Chain A
Amino acid sequence: MRNPPLSQTVIRGAVHSPRPHDSAARQAAGDALYIDDIAEAKNLLHLYVAQSEKAHARIVRMNLDAVRAAPGVVTVLTARDVPGENDASPIAGDDPVFAEDIVEYAGQSLFAVAADSLAQARTAAKLAIVEYEALPAIVTIDEALAAESFVLPSREMRRGNAAKAIRKAKHRLKQHFAIGGQDHFYLEGQIALALPGEDGDIFLHSSTQHPTEVQHNVAKFLNLPDHAITVEVRRMGGGFGGKETQGAWFACIAALATRLTGRPAKLRLDRDDDMIMTGKRHDFTVTVEMGFDDDGRVSGAEFTFASRCGRSVDLSASINDRAMFHADNCYYFENVTIISHRCKTHTVSNTAFRGFGGPQGMLAPERMMDAIACYLDKDPLAVRKINLYGKDRRNITPYQMEVSDNIAPEIIADLEKSANYANRRAAIRAFNQGSPYLKKGIALTPVKFGISFTATHMNQAGALLHIYTDGSVMINHGGTEMGQGLYIKVAQVVAEVLQIDIERVKITATRTDKVPNTSPTAASSGADLNGKAAEAAALTLKRRLTDFAATHYVVDPSEVHFLPNRIRVGKRTIAFRDLVQQAYMARISLSATGFYRTPKIHYDPQSYSGRPFYYFAYGAAVSEVIIDTLTGENKVIAVDILHDAGQSLNPAIDLGQIEGGYIQGLGWLTTEELFFDGKGILKTHAPSTYKIPACSDRPEHFNMQIFARGKNAEETIFRSKAVGEPPFMLAISAFNAIADAISSVTDYKAYPDLDAPATPERVLLAVDRLRQRAHASKAGAK
Chain B
Amino acid sequence: MTSYRQRIKYIHHGRIVELGAVDPTMTLLNYLRYEKALTGTKEGCAEGDCGACTVVLGEAGEDGIRYQAVNACIQFLPTIDGKELITVEDLKDEDGALHPVQQAMVEANATQCGFCTPGFVMSIFADMHNGATTDRQHIDDVLAGNLCRCTGYGPIVEAARNIAGAGTKDHFHEREGETLSLLKRLAAEDTLHFTWQGRHYYAPDTVEELADILDRHPDATLVAGATDVGLWITKQHRTLPVVVYLGKVTALQKITQTAEGLLIGAGVTYSAAWPTLSDFHPDLGELVRRIASTQIRNCGTIGGNIANGSPIGDMPPALIALNSRLRVRSKAGVREIPLEEFFIDYGKQDLREGEFVETVFIPVPAVGAHFATYKISKRFDQDISALCGAMSLYLEKSIVADIRICFGGMAGTPKRATTVETALIGKSWDTATLDIALNRMGEDYAPLSDMRASREYRLLAAKNLLRKFLIETTDSGTATRIVGVKGIAHA
- Interface residue ranges, A against B (CB under 8 Å): 18, 20-21, 23-34, 36-37, 39-40, 119, 122-123, 184-188, 235-240, 270-272, 435-438, 482-485, 626-628, 630-635, 637, 652-653, 655-656, 659-664, 671, 673, 675, 683-684, 686-689, 691-698, 700, 702, 759-761, 764-765, 768
Residues of B within 8 A of A626 (CB): 482, 488-489
Q: Does B149 contact A702, Cβ atoms closer than 8 Å? A: no
Given contacts A689-B452, A696-B491, A697-B379, contact A768 B114 (CB under 8 A): no
Residues of A within 8 A of B454 (CB): 761
Residue of B nearest to A674 (CB): B451
Cross-chain pairs A/B with CB under 8 angstroms, 11 sampled: A27-B117, A187-B115, A187-B148, A626-B482, A630-B464, A663-B151, A675-B450, A686-B45, A687-B44, A688-B45, A688-B384
Known pairs A21-B111, A484-B112, A635-B483 / 17 extra A-B pairs, C-beta < 8 Å? A20-B107, A122-B237, A123-B237, A186-B149, A187-B116, A187-B148, A436-B478, A626-B488, A631-B374, A656-B151, A664-B149, A683-B451, A686-B47, A688-B45, A694-B380, A697-B153, A760-B376
B166 contacts partner chain A, Cβ-Cβ < 8 Å: no
B460 contacts partner chain A, Cβ-Cβ < 8 Å: yes
Q: Does A761 contact B453, Cβ atoms closer than 8 Å? A: yes
Residue of B nearest to A727 (CB): B152
Chain B window 137-152, contacts with chain A (Cβ cutoff 8 Å), 1 for yes, 0 for no: 1011001101111111
Residues of B within 8 A of A630 (CB): 461, 464-465, 467-468, 480
Q: Does B113 contact A187, Cβ atoms closer than 8 Å? A: yes
- Give the complex CA separation of A142 and B392 in angstroms: 45
Q: Does B479 contact A438, Cβ atoms closer than 8 Å? A: yes
Chain B window 145-165, contacts with chain A (Cβ cutoff 8 Å), 1 for yes, 0 for no: 011111111111100000000
Q: Does A25 contact B98, Cβ atoms closer than 8 Å? A: yes
Q: Does B482 contact A698, Cβ atoms closer than 8 Å? A: no
Interface centre among B136, B137, B148, B468 (most CB of A within 10 A): B148
Q: Does B39 contact A188, Cβ atoms closer than 8 Å? A: no
Given contacts A188-B115, A656-B109, A687-B49, contact A760 B88 (CB under 8 A): no
Q: Does B468 contact A483, Cβ atoms closer than 8 Å? A: no
Q: Does A20 contact B39, Cβ atoms closer than 8 Å? A: no
Residues of B within 8 A of A655 (CB): 109
- Give the complex CA separation of A696 and B374 in angstroms: 18
Residue of A nearest to B90 (CB): A30
Q: For the complex of A and B, list the 5 residue pairs with the smallest distance between their C-beta atoms, beginning with the closest.
A: A30-B40, A483-B113, A27-B114, A237-B115, A663-B152
B315 contacts partner chain A, Cβ-Cβ < 8 Å: no
Q: Does B237 contact A20, Cβ atoms closer than 8 Å? A: no
Q: Does A29 contact B114, Cβ atoms closer than 8 Å? A: no
Query: A729: shortest Cβ distance to chain B, in Å?
Result: 14
Residues of B within 8 A of A272 (CB): 235
Residues of A within 8 A of B106 (CB): 20, 24-25, 28
Q: Does B42 contact A34, Cβ atoms closer than 8 Å? A: yes
Q: Does B149 contact A628, Cβ atoms closer than 8 Å? A: no
B383 contacts partner chain A, Cβ-Cβ < 8 Å: yes
Residues of A within 8 A of B50 (CB): 187, 271, 687
B381 contacts partner chain A, Cβ-Cβ < 8 Å: yes
Contact among A28, A631, A653 with B376 in the assembled complex (CB-CB below 8 Å): A631
Residues of B within 8 A of A635 (CB): 380, 482-483, 489
- Interface residue ranges, B against A (CB under 8 Å): 33-34, 37, 39-47, 49-50, 52, 87-89, 91-92, 98, 101-103, 105-107, 109, 111-118, 121, 136-137, 139-140, 143-144, 146-157, 235, 237, 374, 376-384, 386, 450-454, 456-457, 460-461, 464-465, 467-468, 471, 478-483, 488-489, 491
Q: Does B46 contact A270, Cβ atoms closer than 8 Å? A: yes
Residues of B within 8 A of A765 (CB): 456-457, 460
Residues of B within 8 A of A662 (CB): 152
Interface centre among A27, A31, A702 (most CB of B within 10 A): A27
Contact among B117, B154, B383 with A28 in the assembled complex (CB-CB below 8 Å): B117
Q: Does B380 contact A688, Cβ atoms closer than 8 Å? A: no
- Give the complex CA separation of A18 and B108 in angstroms: 11
Residue of A nearest to B235 (CB): A272
Contact among B41, B144, B457 with A696 in the assembled complex (CB-CB below 8 Å): B144
Query: A336: shortest Cβ distance to chain B, in Å?
Result: 34
Query: B181: shortest Cβ distance to chain A, in Å?
Result: 28
- Give the complex CA separation of A634 and B378 in angstroms: 9
Q: Does A24 contact B37, Cβ atoms closer than 8 Å? A: no
- Give the complex CA separation of A728 and B481 in angstroms: 29
Q: Does A631 contact B461, Cβ atoms closer than 8 Å? A: yes
Query: B399: shortest Cβ distance to chain A, in Å?
Result: 24
Residues of A within 8 A of B464 (CB): 630-631, 764
Residues of A within 8 A of B147 (CB): 185, 187, 687, 692, 694
Contact among A30, A656, A688, A700 with B150 in the assembled complex (CB-CB below 8 Å): A656
Query: A632: shortest Cβ distance to chain B, in Å?
Result: 7
Interface centre among A29, A686, A698 (most CB of B within 10 A): A29
Residue of A nearest to B387 (CB): A631
Query: A489: shortest Cβ distance to chain B, in Å?
Result: 13
Given contacts A437-B471, A659-B154, contact A238 B384 (CB under 8 A): no
Given contacts A238-B113, A656-B112, A663-B153, contact A696 B381 (CB under 8 A): yes
- Give the complex CA separation of A37 and B118 in angstroms: 13
Q: Does A695 contact B157, Cβ atoms closer than 8 Å? A: yes
- Give the complex CA separation of A730 and B412 in angstroms: 41
Residues of B within 8 A of A435 (CB): 478-479
- Give the complex CA separation of A29 and B153 in angstroms: 19
Q: Does B386 contact A27, Cβ atoms closer than 8 Å? A: no
Contact among B49, B146, B151, B480 with A660 in the assembled complex (CB-CB below 8 Å): B151
Residues of B within 8 A of A659 (CB): 151-152, 154-155
Residues of A within 8 A of B467 (CB): 630
Contact among A184, A270, A652, A675 with B109 in the assembled complex (CB-CB below 8 Å): A652
Q: Does A675 contact B115, Cβ atoms closer than 8 Å? A: no
Contact among A31, A235, A695 with B143 in the assembled complex (CB-CB below 8 Å): A695
Given contacts A123-B237, A187-B147, contact A437 B88 (CB under 8 A): no
Contact among A37, A661, A694 with B382 in the assembled complex (CB-CB below 8 Å): A694
Q: Does A437 contact B153, Cβ atoms closer than 8 Å? A: no
Interface centre among A122, A270, A435 (most CB of B within 10 A): A270
Residues of B within 8 A of A693 (CB): 152-153, 379
Residue of B nearest to A18 (CB): B109
Residue of A nearest to B487 (CB): A635
- Give the complex CA separation of A436 and B37 in angstroms: 58
- Give the complex CA separation of A765 and B458 in angstroms: 11
Residue of B nearest to A33 (CB): B39
- Give the complex CA separation of A34 and B40 in angstroms: 9
Residues of A within 8 A of B152 (CB): 656, 659-664, 693, 698, 702
Contact among A32, A660, A664, A673 with B114 in the assembled complex (CB-CB below 8 Å): A32
Q: Does A30 contact B113, Cβ atoms closer than 8 Å? A: no
Residue of B nearest to A762 (CB): B457
Query: B389: shortest Cβ distance to chain A, in Å?
Result: 10
Residue of B nearest to A629 (CB): B464
Q: Does A632 contact B461, Cβ atoms closer than 8 Å? A: yes
Interface centre among A659, A691, A692, A768 (most CB of B within 10 A): A691
Query: A139: shortest Cβ distance to chain B, in Å?
Result: 14
- Give the complex CA separation of A695 and B156 in angstroms: 9
- Give the complex CA separation of A632 and B452 in angstroms: 14
- Give the complex CA separation of A435 and B379 in angstroms: 23
Contact among A123, A185, A239, A760 with B386 in the assembled complex (CB-CB below 8 Å): A760
Residue of B nearest to A702 (CB): B154
Q: Does A237 contact B114, Cβ atoms closer than 8 Å? A: yes
Query: A747: shortest Cβ distance to chain B, in Å?
Result: 18
Residues of A within 8 A of B109 (CB): 18, 20-21, 24, 652-653, 655-656
- Give the complex CA separation of A437 and B478 in angstroms: 8
Query: A240: shortest Cβ distance to chain B, in Å?
Result: 7
Residue of B nearest to A662 (CB): B152
Q: Does B379 contact A238, Cβ atoms closer than 8 Å? A: no
Q: Does A24 contact B111, Cβ atoms closer than 8 Å? A: yes
Residues of A within 8 A of B460 (CB): 764-765, 768
Residues of B within 8 A of A694 (CB): 140, 143-144, 147, 153, 379-382
Query: B477: shortest Cβ distance to chain A, in Å?
Result: 10
